[in-house]
Amino acid sequence: MRKGIFIIAIMLMSISIMGQQQERNISIIPEPVSLLKKGGHFVLPDEVVISTPFAQGTYINSLLVEKLSTAPAKEVKLSSSAANAHIELLLNKITDKEIGREGYRLDVTPQKVVIKANEPAGLLYGVQTFFQLLPPQIESDKKKENVSWQIPVVEITDYPRVEWRGLMLDVSRHFFTVDEVKQFIDNMVRYKYNIFHWHLTDDEGWRIEIKSLPKLTQVGAWRTEQIGWFGSLSDPDPDAPKNYGGFYTQDEIGEVIAYAMERNVQVMPEIDVPGHSSAALAAYPELACFPESGDHFVRTGAPFLDWNTGGRPAAIYENTLCPANENVYEFMDKVITEVAALFPFEYIHTGGDEAPYTFWEKSPDIKKLMAREGIKDMAGVQSYFGKRVEQIILSKGKKMMGWDEILEGGITPTTALMSWRGIEHGIEASNSGHYVVMSPTNYVYIDYMQGDLSTEPRVYSSLRLNQTYQFDPIPEGANAKYILGGQANLWTEQIYNIRQVEYMVWPRGFAVAESLWSPKEKKDWNRFASKAEDHFARFDYARIKYSPAIYDPIVKVAKEGEKLMVTLTTEIEGLDIYASFDASTPDNFYPVYKEPLQVPKDAYVMRIITYRDGKPVGRLMSISAEELMKRAR
């Protein structure tokens, strides 16, 4: 009898420990506004009945059926009745003011899961949170055996901190197919992003069909393919085939917009002018200040701008539309007319960044324009151009947004700003009554390296995950009334395929999502880092690529007299660092790193790796002594 009681006690203790472990591993990104853990679990039955207010074939219904019938291999039935339902989706008849349009309440009992919201968007986000409560195998596209398909009993109240939660994808520098763009949007939705900023035109390609201007895609969408360090490629042979590129037909644009809107994602197009216009000038050189130069072609990645100016670049070749040319405004009217008809979103982004003044300053027509309009400088010329383009946009029933350079010559009250050169321009604009999206390079430019140069494709700057996590879309000093929200930007000069897109976005996309959705006071770096690791497991099952850079040490080099000293730190806790200077591969039998290391006089390479609990977790880093010396300088 005593033996039986002992066995029962052990079993109860094991069940209790399993329950506690399950609760400890609740890892929702972005962190909800409120989460109350209770005892017990809800277990998915073999036949799952879902009560839904939506018609058959609606995206939320299809998503639930697909997820629950794939990896868990459950039979899923949809019903309009809540009777006997295991998962109940409810649209509130009386508006719940606390949660707003995109918020939700998710209540889990041992018997059922109930998700309530004011609008379908909230139910969608509640469903995404529900999936994150399930084991990570839910992300697999294959049946998974021996998984306990249960979630903890919880009460969650959740709603976003800011309205604008964006990700930008540059498809000009490198082209991505419709299916790849849809894949990008699907991954956004997992983490409650709701704005897809589609950077459609630039020097390296024009990607949107404009039927009244067919050369934009016949000529401007194609260039010679070159692979290497984008920005320092060799000039292509003039006779080389223009075999790289692509564009989206207007039907394909509509397809992507519809796909996104089903997922509560608005699509904002960007037509980047007056700079970044080489592809447009290749198609229509008469839009340049110097149309007869013969230098107008779609750029390939060879240098055409001089960035050694300490500020605005100087142009080696002309890449700007000519503000003194009336044909330019006829061109813009045709483009904006078709773009406005395609995109339901209220804003059209017109760029305005990094426009070189080099060829404007040389142009007799620009001088005449300045004299006629009383314009004092080149910033005023760009402002003149921007204001005329804005009038075109307003005439189509849309509003204009641009990068923060457009502030320099003055903007009209209806223009919105995307602040990328730090936060100061956004603060200034918000305090002068302009709507702002915060998008500063030092927090959310996710094309930057996220780890050491020895492990990453070379980019001119770095942005570690812990720095991204510090992003605050409503910085001190800003007028919060005019801050729409924030956005991360992925420029694709060094990104040649969709797998590298994923690698660059995640996990920094987790950090931005939490900064935009979650209450500021709920953010906690150590907690977030642990959650990010749990989501790595989800991505492994989903076969989504991500960067493991959080496991790689941060390397700092300094000279102390004649000594070259290397200091190693980690972004996350619990890692042991091992290093060698003798060209061997270090492991956890080497001395653990404890203090800065002196580089031996004749060493030619340093190798570094991190371990956790006796197993390697970081990538093997190899840094030459020559490179270490450069970093010290």
Q: Which residues are catalytic?
A: 202, 276, 354
Residue 396: is it exposed, middle or buried by C-beta count within 10 angstroms (0-12/13-18/19+)? middle
- The answer to whether the beta carbons of residues 407 and 392 sit under 8 Å apart is no
**Other CB atoms closer than 10 Å to residue 504's CB: what's the count?**
26
Q: Return d(Cα 308, Cα 311) in angstroms, integer.
A: 8
The token duo for 402 is: 């641009």
Q: Return d(Cα 149, Cα 85) in angstroms, integer.
A: 17
Alpha carbon 137 to chain centroid distance? 24
- The answer to whether the beta carbons of residues 89 and 105 sit under 8 Å apart is no
Q: Return d(Cα 590, Cα 579) in angstroms, integer.
A: 8
- The answer to whether the beta carbons of residues 103 and 118 sit under 8 Å apart is yes
- The answer to whether the beta carbons of residues 124 and 102 sit under 8 Å apart is no
Q: Return d(Cα 133, Cα 150) in angstroms, integer.
A: 8
CB under 8 Å to 311, separation ≥6 — which residues?
none
Taking CA atoms, 535 is separated from 86, 336, 508, 511, in Å, by 26, 41, 12, 12
- The answer to whether the beta carbons of residues 304 and 319 sit under 8 Å apart is yes
Q: Return d(Cα 366, Cα 372) in angstroms, integer.
A: 10
Q: 301 phi and psi, to 5 degrees?
A: 120, -5
Q: Return d(Cα 4, Cα 126) in angstroms, integer.
A: 44
CB under 8 Å to 214, separation ≥6 — which residues?
none
Three-state secondary structure readout of 551-603: HCCEEEEEEECCEEEEEEECCCCCCEEEEECECCCCCCCCCECCCCEECCCCC
- The answer to whether the beta carbons of residues 296 and 318 sit under 8 Å apart is yes
- Which of 550, 543, 355 has the alpha carbon at shortest distance from 452? 550
* 8-state DSSP, 158: E
Q: Return d(Cα 410, Cα 353) in angstroms, integer.
A: 14
- The answer to whether the beta carbons of residues 471 and 486 sit under 8 Å apart is yes
Q: Return d(Cα 628, Cα 624) in angstroms, integer.
A: 6
| Range 15-24, long-range pairs (CB < 8 A, 24+ positions) | 19/152, 22/150, 22/152, 23/152
Q: Return d(Cα 343, Cα 258) in angstroms, integer.
A: 10
**Other CB atoms closer than 10 Å to residue 546's CB: what's the count?**
22
Q: Return d(Cα 269, Cα 29) in angstroms, integer.
A: 27
Alpha carbon 520 to chain centroid distance? 20
